[in-house]
Amino acid sequence: MRFLRKYFLTGILILTPVLVTGYILWKVFSSIDNLLGPLQKRYPIIDIPGLGFIIIIVLIVLTGFFAGNLIGRRIIHVGERLLNYIPLVPRIYNAVKELSQVFLADRKTAFQEVVLVRYPHPGSFALAFVTREGSEYFNSLVGSEVVNVFVPTTPNPTSGFLLLVPKKDVLKVSITVEEGMKMVISGGAFSPPILEGLARRAG
């Protein structure tokens, strides 16, 4: 019976992420596609499966294109200024905007590299991501060159802590940002291939 248990657990491990991913994609697709529900009832001719999803994708691409030119940027800037006059809206909008810029921007600009820093006490290390070099102002305050690092929480990397760490105390890790993020989300269960290779050599 041991081999049945082994195969069962292996099957669960393989199928769970596939099924969960498929379910989430299906729910997102269905929700977006149903946005055209009222129009499809009134005009049956546009009742085409997937049409709502396609329209949303096209709208997102056109918005990105529109925001890439001078006129579009000015209109968006005016719109953001108008939002500042609506109670509570600026806090929500700005928080979501900043979070999106960090996690949806190009990883090369958001997170430069993966490092280890001593956190939360000198006897332990935390996986962190370098966001930029420290400013001269902070360098002068600390008395040495510092770097800005983001220490994410597990398993939700959208929250975390900003630390200004002396550059000499930062340990560089030879893994990619994507691999580092997978380690954070998995709580350390995921191990990058390079680390697996080193473990096999040591063994």
Q: What is the pLDDT along the chain (203 residues), one digit of tens a residue?
A: 666 776 676 677 667 767 777 777 777 777 766 666 666 666 665 556 666 667 777 777 777 777 777 787 788 788 878 877 888 777 777 776 666 665 555 545 568 899 999 999 889 999 999 998 888 999 999 899 999 999 999 888 878 999 999 999 999 998 988 899 889 888 888 888 876 655 555 55
Contact 61, 79 (CB under 8 A): no
pTM over the 0.85 mark: no
**Helix ranges (DSSP H) in the chain:** 2-33, 37-42, 51-67, 70-83, 89-103, 107-110, 136-142, 177-185, 193-202
Tracing tokens 């995921």 back to the chain, one arrives at 190
Tokens 């292996």 correspond to: 10
Q: Which CATH number fits domain 107-190: 3.40.50, 3.30.70, 2.30.30, 3.90.25?
A: 2.30.30
Give the three-state DSSP class for 53. helix
Nearest to 117 by CA among 160, 58, 80, 86: 160
Residue extent(s) of CATH 2.30.30 domains in the chain: 107-190
